[in-house]
Amino acid sequence: MPEPLLRFARVGKSFGGVRALDDVSFDVLAGEVHVLAGENGAGKSTLIKILAGVHPGFDGEMTLQGKPLRPASPDDARRSGISVIHQELSLVDSMSVSDNIHLGRESRRLGGWWLDRPAQVARSAELCRQLNLELSEADMARPVEAFSLSVKNRIEIAKALAFEARVIVMDEPTSALDRPEVDKLFTLVAALRARGCAVIYITHKMEEIARVADRITVLRDGKWVGTAPAGECPERRLIQWMVGRDLSEQFPPPGEGRAGGTAAPALETRGLGVRDPDPSRRNAVGGVSLRVAPGEILGIAGLQGSGAAELFQGLFGSRGACCTGEVTLGGVPFHPKNPRDSIGRGLAHLTADRKATGLVLGMSVGANVSLASLPGVSPMGLLRRGIERSRARHWAGALGIRLASIEQPVGTLSGGNQQKVVLAKWLCTGPRVLLLEDPTRGVDVGAKREIYSLMRAWTGQGMAILLISSELPELLGLSDRILVLHRGSVSAEFTRAEATQEKVLAAAMGSQ
């Protein structure tokens, strides 16, 4: 057994009497990818925040290369050689690539006052080359906002290397990436491993664990459950460790197969196009025809840039009236104008990014639940708190939202419960067609399963669901039919029985 690079010894942390992390001990070796797994609230984030210097006061101790490690601040942690790449990237969008890579560690001259830009650019270009990032020296001067999320992700890793990080923590780095981009990221992770860095990798996705992990540590309820080499830890056992019970089946069975029935379709489009707000660019969606029956879940598969997200935005009117072609809702012609109008017609759209576009984090759970259906709780414009509270309680119960109080700010809930609040908000509007974009993003295994069952329950009551998911197994497991988009138009359609990961992916990548 080689000497561990990083060692956690009896690390613990309490917040106001609540023990968030208790007595956690394990080692991380140099040159390994160490997956940290566990449900939301298991203590992963707390542990990482201690490592990153966000919580300087903690119990127990950490050692890095045998020396005690007690980072007093994020800056301190970074200087010790620990880099954390968060889900929300910490790049400054308006600054250039090389300035971002060197942010906090600028190359300086003249007693440290003069910024040595050329040296920074050269060094950044070299780092990008090592990471197989196809960026030229000219790109180093462009602002980060000009690049896609996946490139930004890798720029963030280059930043970690610029700090000569020995330990790199990646917190769900693939949550917003497409499959080819995920592949690129994994190549990069392999490169980091080869350089002798330790990578602590946090993910909720089983297939990623299988692909990338050397060893796995599982936390549950703030406690260490076990550490094992990846080979000795099959998916079944891992889930058992994480949830403390056996999850025999992930996905609930489909309904009685109302799909394709004779009833009028809940939503139908013919030759639907969605214009890009920038008129010089081609339409994001062009000529999509689809129909979804009441009680049916229609999966929409597609990589980034396939137009799937834009299709939802167009149908919901998120970007105003920018649709061409015909749309009917329950047989009635419909011209998407704005979200307000669409909600009134029985449409609901759960967006992918709940923090940016789903929730008002500072408002209470109750206020968020009623946000999309306020006219219903405020007859004559007067807000009736009683109605609001009873509705919120009803949905909190129906969706199993775990909370202390309806008045609690929604930002204090865990990710899974936040997602359920967004779902509750849309269910409150009594939708007939539900547009779901990554409904289980950042949600732990147990909550995922609950959301899946709920979806089935709603379709059982006649609701139609359009589903986008960045996780193929989820899409395959839930959808009655799958429509694959490629560059804004339909490239294939599969029934539940026909669809396999390989076929869907091939169609999404444009091969016939």
Partner 1 sequence: MKAAFQIPWVRALLALALVFAIGCLCNAHGAFFHWSTHRDMLRQVSVYGILACGMTLVVVSGGIDLAVGSVLGLSAVIFSTATLHHGLPAFLAVALTLGAGAAAGLASGTLVSRLRVQPFIATLALMVFARGLAKALSGGQKISRVIQQPDGSFSYVDLPTVFARLDARVLGGNVAAVSLVFLACVLVSWVVLSRLRYGRYLYATGGNEDAARLSGVPVVRAKLLAYGLCGVFAAVAGICQAAQEEQGDPEAGTGYELTAIAIVVIGGTSLAGGRGGVGLTLIGAITIGYLEKILSINAVPEASRLMLTGAIIVAAVLLQRRKP
Which residues have a Cβ under 8 Å from the Cβ of 505 and sit 6 or more positions away?
179, 472
For 24, the token pair is 């956690």
To partner 1, the closest distance from the beta carbon of 181 in angstroms equals 25
**Closest to 336 measured CA to CA, from 349, 350, 322:** 322
C-beta of 109 vs 355, nearer to partner 1? 355
> Does residue 406 bind partner 1 (CB under 8 A)?
no
**Residues 189-248 within binding reach of partner 1 (CB under 8 A):** none
Q: Are 442 and 415 in contact (CB under 8 A)?
A: yes
**Residues 407-466 within binding reach of partner 1 (CB under 8 A):** 425, 429
Span near partner 1 by CB under 8 A; candidates 43-51, 87-95, 189-197, 337-345: 337-345
For 34, the token pair is 């160490």
E strand residue ranges, 148-237: 167-171, 198-202, 215-220, 223-229
HEC assignment per residue over 236-295: HHHHHHHHCCCCCCCCCCCCCCCCCCCCCCCEEEEEEEECCCCCCCCCCEEEEEEEECCC
Q: Which of 128, 135, 161, 371 binds partner 1 (CB under 8 A)?
A: 371
Integer-rounded Cα Rg, in Å, for the chain is 24
To partner 1, the closest distance from the beta carbon of 94 in angstroms equals 16
Q: Which of 344, 430, 460, 510 binds partner 1 (CB under 8 A)?
A: 344
> Does residue 378 bind partner 1 (CB under 8 A)?
yes
**Dihedral angle, C-alpha 133, 138, 143, 147, nearest 10 °:** -40
Residue 164: strand, helix, or coil: coil
> CA-CA distance, 488 to 287, in Å (whole number)?
8
**Residues 5-64 within binding reach of partner 1 (CB under 8 A):** 16
Strands 167-171 and 198-202: parallel
> Does residue 374 bind partner 1 (CB under 8 A)?
yes
> Does residue 363 bind partner 1 (CB under 8 A)?
yes
> CA-CA distance, 238 to 261, in Å (whole number)?
40
Span near partner 1 by CB under 8 A; candidates 131-139, 166-174, 355-363, 394-402: 355-363
Span near partner 1 by CB under 8 A; candidates 72-80, 173-181, 292-300, 370-378: 370-378
φ, ψ for residue 262 (rounded to 5)? -85, -10
For 308, the token pair is 């799937």
Q: Which of 45, 100, 269, 351 binds partner 1 (CB under 8 A)?
A: 351
> Does residue 340 bind partner 1 (CB under 8 A)?
yes
> Does residue 375 bind partner 1 (CB under 8 A)?
yes
Span near partner 1 by CB under 8 A; candidates 44-52, 105-113, 270-278, 367-375: 367-375
> Does residue 87 bind partner 1 (CB under 8 A)?
no
Q: Which of 357, 390, 453, 495 binds partner 1 (CB under 8 A)?
A: 357
C-beta of 226 vs 409, nearer to partner 1? 409
For 249, the token pair is 């089946």
> Does residue 343 bind partner 1 (CB under 8 A)?
yes
Span near partner 1 by CB under 8 A; candidates 202-210, 266-274, 376-384, 500-508: 376-384
**Closest to 132 measured CA to CA, from 192, 88, 92:** 192
C-beta of 200 vs 371, nearer to partner 1? 371
C-beta of 190 vs 360, nearer to partner 1? 360
Binding string, residues 294-333; x marks residues near partner 1 by CB under 8 A: ----------------------x-x---------------
> For 197, how many CA atoms within 13 A lie in the half-sphere containing its CB?
25
> CA-CA distance, 512 to 510, in Å (whole number)?
6
Q: Which residues bind partner 1 (CB under 8 A)?
A: 16, 316, 318, 339-340, 342-344, 349, 351, 356-363, 367, 370-372, 374-375, 378, 381-383, 425, 429
